[in-house]
Structure 1
């Protein structure tokens, strides 16, 4: 078999075949590696290492150079187009995608596949490409990696998912933990959807706590890239307390908050003290807050979701993370509808988590007519809505003052007047009429609130009379008659209302007089 006994021996033929045929074609290398998986002699002779290095070398090259095992440059013109009988056809060779070798490599068994991935990392292959290879390999062995477990319809049970493949459960658990260990360190290289699928598979296969914790940490580090389906992790524990795994999402949020605390200070500056130039709408905290609100809306209808856990979900993020509380109000409304047995103090405590100043006008209108909310919350919503109306009216007055008052621009302190166009007088009158309508509307709301408080006070007085007569008092658990809401004196409230109206009318009168005086000066 060696050259000592003669030429054209078997070793020379084998080496030539490997060099000219096997090592120049990816499929031939894969077949050789699959054949050598159970041959210890091939490992000792170095054939496995030679084939692995050839595979990695072809993967790291430009895909356009690997369209055939031995590229024939004579088939190409100087411009790069294909030639037929020496004539330029104008057609361009098709470029292969970056994942052209993923399926072939995923056919290997775990030990050789691990060696290929480690070799590609040493060669400096992009993390995105390595993550794609791992995803293709995981799809062959891990159950339900591409299935949506977050949907309520058609979700498979744990036993169905475990029996979906012929690979034993213990072997799949080892494959999962190995894939998690081979994931690139760079967080942007691994899609969040892939990490979410690995987390679901780790729950199904009962992987080690260290493996699950690492996957949760990876999701938390890039939580702003996740979608709602990525964090809807089904609860597959034995107790089945809730439909979704709330504790898992809270741990993911903790990892995200830990990372945000390290990167940004509470004042919005980075670790070096420089101010962050990101706009509020593009910061990861804002994106995660919107994602969390959608998640809370999804889990709120679960009747088994306890109030403390729902409360902790809402408080998981700081207050400044939410630019609007409309999603939070929607979630609380759904939770109150699905849990009608909550007491009045529990409802009130839950509604205090909302910032009524962050509610949109549409949400305020809905909350003012929502019978599921406590009366205290409804009054607070009306109060802040009234404050918003006052602010709008005051801003209109300021705009009117800046637009129509005569400017003072003399170096010696003298007044220099500018003429106001006559066409603006009609617009000013229309604005004043609109302000009067807003003030009348505000008066009507205050009067409605007074009548409601008076009615509740009369009901409470009747209940007190019945109690004094010894006929017993009915219990109002979670009722809408709260004594501390109606402690306001009618006379004091009416006097304050009349005073506010007088001030508003005085401001309107002053503004109208100013406009008429300016009109007379302009006419003269």
Structure 2
């Protein structure tokens, strides 16, 4: 025993007192008092809250079986077996390790306590009991050698997978890390591990911008350390951690000035699942007095860049399909996340565009990260461009042209095209492009309706010819009541051609003082076919005809003969644009 080694056996004088200093005894004076009572066979209380300390004290004092049967080491070891049978007692034992951590770790008590918690956390909740008692109740203190407190009934444990989150969130960081490593090695579902880490982070970090009332007070250095450790504990699987939570960690890392490597990890994690983010989450304020813009544009740009890198890697491994403009785009399965990110970036640009300190280069660099195929419509980017032009009226025409190249005028909706055609902030070239493509769209629609009308009339003639041959009981061809009647088609065609005529009038007003038609269409890079009328019409002015075929007008007259007459003066009959010869 240690005391025998410290007190010399042969003293110079009989009965001389010897003073032994035990400053290093685990648990201090309280633990030594318990040991003294144990030696004099005084009944004491051994609980889950002191068994680890007493086990360490017994180890320090060398109170093993060599000095007597049933010594303190033997008694505490037997009691630990009972403690490890209960979740709550195991948790109390882990907390007791804090005061005697070094010696407890040396004799493997810490690992045994953590292992007990990990096994129970990985087990089915229904198979767990708070204490090995027939009634299922948990005593506040398990009694030893005759003393103990009265048992109190416990509430039934929540049977969900997160039943242990709140319990382990009270552990110190180094203990919690060891528990996470233990449950990971046992193959716990990463989603459950992620849920526990998020619960732990919410308890100690001000993720919502301010500290909670119940949040322990800690220094800034401790919070930085905690943040970096939590980021390192997060499971690597994509989508396990909500993007909203990762963005909260990003904000805290910027406020606390965490290590750049920690921020880089968060940016990559956020970028890999950016399609699940919301606009309010990526509005990260700029930190520091040297910041020029209200929001941290550079951070968002890096996140979007990480997303596009990951998306391109996935696209390379999947099949591609060819579209009309000879541009390779990913298949529809891969297109959905990219489209969601495109909408997110467009909304973000519209949100930050009013900032007068936002430079054009930053706006362009962020917007250009999104490929054109990811936007089914360019209404979002047009809205952002319009807001930026309104907040930055000093831009030159060249800069406006450069900004407007971000959008495709052919992919604007009818509402956006109408707005753009009347938008004085846009360059003239862009307005003319919008008007031209809108007129081209209307002509295509008109031509398509005439084609459908001709097909329906042919199907009516065909049905009348083969009608008598169709036997009863077979599928009948319904001509009298088609899904879209010919009259409805004529009405739609008339409406579309009226819109086309109005669009032409808008163009004429727009370029009234801007030169001839040839100069405008040269700006667009278009060529128009010029023809002259022969015979008696050779004195008439030259006319420029559009690509609308003459067959369409024959179909129009033919359709008009069977129903309502379509008047030539109400539609854009010849589709000609006259200019002075």
Aligned counterparts of 2:197 and 2:499: Cα–Cα separation in 1: 64
Is the Cα–Cα contact under 8 Å of residues 406 and 417 in structure 1 kept in the other structure? no
Of the three residues 313, 318, 329, the one matched with 1:262 is 313
| Aligned mate of 1:496, from 540, 544, 548 | 544
Distance 1:451 1:281 in 2: 45
Give the counterpart of 1:191 among 211, 218, 242: 242
Query: Equivalents in 2 of 1:512, 1:409: separation in Å?
Result: 20
Q: How does 1:170-209 map to 2 (within 5 A)?
A: 170-209=221-260
Greater relative contact order (Cα 8 A, min sep 6): structure 1 or 2?
1
Paired with 2:109 and 2:204, the residues of 1 have a C-alpha distance of 27
CA contact (8 A) 2:129 2:136 kept: no
What corresponds to 2:86 in structure 1? Answer: 25
1:227 paired to 2:285: no
Does residue 1:443 correspond to 2:501, yes or no? yes
Match of 1:145 in 2: 207
Q: Which residue does the alignment assign to 2:435? A: 382
When normalised by structure 1's length, the TM-score is 0.76
Return the alpha-carbon distance in structure 2 between the equivalents of residues 356 and 9 of structure 1.
89
What is the rounded CA distance, in whole Å, between the counterparts of 1:361 and 1:105 in structure 2? 57
- Change over 3 Å in CA distance of 1:355–1:246 after alignment to 2: same
Is 1:65 aligned with 2:113? Answer: no
- Aligned 1:36-435 pairs, distance under 5 A: 36-39=97-100, 40-70=102-132, 72=134, 95-142=158-205, 144-147=206-209, 166-265=217-316, 268-269=319-320, 279=332, 283-406=336-459, 427-435=485-493
Query: C-alpha distance in 2, partners of 1:165/1:49?
Result: 26
State the Cα distance separating 1:10 from its structure 2 match: 2.2
1:87 aligns with none
Q: SS at the partner of 1:496? A: strand
Shift of 1:378: 1.7
Structure with higher helix content: 1
1:12-68: CA deviation from partner (whole Å, max 9, x where unpaired): 331232222x32333333332223224122222222111101110110111122253
Structure with higher Rg: it is 2
* 1:512 lines up with 2:560 in the alignment: yes
- Structure 2 equivalent of residue 520 of structure 1: none
Q: 1:312 to 1:165 in 2, by over 3 A?
A: farther
Per the TM alignment, residue 393 of structure 1 is displaced from its structure 2 partner at its CA by 0.7
User: For 1:344 and 1:28, how far apart are their aligned partners in 2?
Assistant: 75
- Structure 1 CA distance for aligned equivalents of residues 260 and 135 of structure 2: 54
Structure 1 residue 512 displacement after superposition: 3.4
Distance 1:344 1:73 in 2: 84
Does structure 2 conserve the Cα–Cα contact (< 8 Å) formed by 1:393 and 1:435? yes
Three-state SS of the structure 2 residue aligned to 1:341 is coil
* Count of residue correspondences: 453
